[in-house]
Amino acid sequence: MAYAERPLGPIAAPLSWGFAAAAHARRFAYDHGLLQSEHAGVFTISVGGIEAGGSGKTPIAGWFLDACKAAGFSPGLVTRGYGRSTRGLAVADGASAIADEVGDEPAMLARDFGVPVAAVANRIEGARALVTRGCDALVLDDGFSHRRLRRDLDVVVLRAEAPFSDRRLLPAGTLRESPAGLKRAHVVWFHTRSSVIVNIDLPQTALRVTSEDSEAQAFDSAGAAVALRGVRVVAACAIARPSGFAGTLARAGAKVTELVSFPDHHRYSSADVASLQETVRKQGAAALVVTAKDATKLTGACVPLWTVRVSVRIVEGEQALRQRLADARAGAT
């Protein structure tokens, strides 16, 4: 279920007040030196947000991994690894990363960009593990509020259509912290899936970046490109905002006969796979279409499985952002 679609219980508001007080106390402690951040000794980028779920952080983390490689770095990904079945520190390279060990989104990024990934709640531990493996740059996934690991570039991703669609804090709303936290950001990145951008005031020191989804591309299980336009498909996803995937398929011209959604980071069971296969057959669909994130967890399907991939296309701020990476690389050599 998407965060914005959650039903509110009678105790949600009081819990939010407690959450706000705890978050404020923690921010105060870091801002005034009562709690200390630790640097990993290599160039570190955090890609995060102040809103929980579905702002488009994952493809932007991928953009930074790719851009770091283009700048001459050997980057690695540090993540908590939501949805994994392992505990403690799990480290994998790009070829061997699987969702059960490091989480679905990290596994996808590690495979797509050929980088090592460290999944652990203690991001300092993960950072050290990757530096030991030779990484000279780190991308910290979903790390804006995780201030124990000090970063050189703090990137906050906002949904351009509705940067603060719900100004209430968790659990009553969707915010992890107040919009005032944007003052810590070096980069505020607006990502839109509909070409709609709501302007907000930004810290004077923050670089503004705007991006949109690239055109969706679908691939079969052998990696061959397949056309979506006019094709009957069943769609399945386990993401924070299923409506975003539905919109992507609609813009690609696919005829979605049914959209089956699961909770974010859901681990598909054999019963789930069997049910999806039966739905494809009943609907007379050409294939089961899933996100790249879901494809890391769906194996053994006996119907055609197509993976839809969407990357980000920057429309504002790319040159300045790449220059920051180039300057960081020059300073590290």
Q: Are residues 273 and 328 in the same domain?
A: no
**Mean per-residue pLDDT of the chain:** 90
Measured CA to CA, the distance from residue 139 to residue 43 in angstroms comes to: 9
Measured CA to CA, the distance from residue 236 to residue 273 in angstroms comes to: 10
Q: Are residues 228 and 279 in the same domain?
A: yes
- Given a cut of 90, whether residue 163 has pLDDT beyond it is no
**Tokens coding 283:** 């609907």
Residue 115: inside a domain: no
Q: Are residues 141 and 278 in the same domain?
A: no
Q: Are residues 68 and 157 in the same domain?
A: yes
Query: How many Cβ atoms sit within 10 Å of the Cβ of residue 6?
Result: 14
- Given a cut of 90, whether residue 235 has pLDDT beyond it is yes
pLDDT at 168: 78
- State the CATH number of the domain containing residue 267: 3.40.50
Burial environment of residue 287 by CB neighbours within 10 A (0 to 12, 13 to 18, 19 or more): buried
pLDDT band at residue 179, thresholds of 50, 70 and 90?
A: confident
pLDDT at 333: 63
- The per-residue pLDDT for range 80-102, each reduced to its tens digit, is 999 899 999 999 999 889 999 99
Q: Are residues 223 and 285 in the same domain?
A: yes
Q: Which domain holds residue 182?
A: 13-73+136-213+312-332
The residues facing 306 across adjacent strands are 289
Find the radius of gyration of the CA atoms of the chain.
20
CB 188 within 8 A of CB 206: yes
CB 250 within 8 A of CB 194: no
Phi and psi at 267, nearest 5°, equal -95, 120
Burial environment of residue 180 by CB neighbours within 10 A (0 to 12, 13 to 18, 19 or more): exposed
- The per-residue pLDDT for range 248-300, each reduced to its tens digit, is 999 999 999 999 999 999 999 999 999 999 999 999 999 999 999 999 999 77
- The per-residue pLDDT for range 47-89, each reduced to its tens digit, is 999 887 778 899 999 999 999 999 999 999 999 999 899 999 9
Measured CA to CA, the distance from residue 112 to residue 115 in angstroms comes to: 8
pLDDT at 10: 63
pLDDT at 5: 45
Residue 107: inside a domain: no
Query: How many Cβ atoms sit within 10 Å of the Cβ of residue 235?
Result: 26
Measured CA to CA, the distance from residue 77 to residue 65 in angstroms comes to: 8
Q: Are residues 221 and 277 in the same domain?
A: yes
The structure's pTM equals 0.89
Give me the mean pLDDT over the 28-47 stretch: 92
Within 13 Å of residue 124, how many CA atoms lie on the same side as its CB? 8
How far is the CA of 283 from the CAs of 220, 253, 277, 290, in angstroms? 19, 18, 10, 16
Residue 174: inside a domain: yes
Residue 108: inside a domain: no
pLDDT at 4: 42
Residue 54: inside a domain: yes
Q: Are residues 262 and 203 in the same domain?
A: no
Q: Are residues 39 and 153 in the same domain?
A: yes
The residues facing 91 across adjacent strands are 118
Tell me how many domains the chain contains.
2
Q: Are residues 146 and 67 in the same domain?
A: yes
Residue 223: inside a domain: yes
Q: What are the b/e assignments for 77-98, b being 16+ CB within 10 Å?
A: bbbbbebbeeeeebbbebeebb
Q: Are residues 238 and 284 in the same domain?
A: yes
Measured CA to CA, the distance from residue 125 to residue 271 in angstroms comes to: 36
Specify the DSSP class assigned to residue 93: -
Q: Are residues 231 and 287 in the same domain?
A: yes
pLDDT at 3: 43
Q: Are residues 319 and 280 in the same domain?
A: no
The residues facing 318 across adjacent strands are none
Residue 259: inside a domain: yes
Residue with tokens 């839809």: 308
Measured CA to CA, the distance from residue 119 to residue 125 in angstroms comes to: 9
Residue 122: inside a domain: no
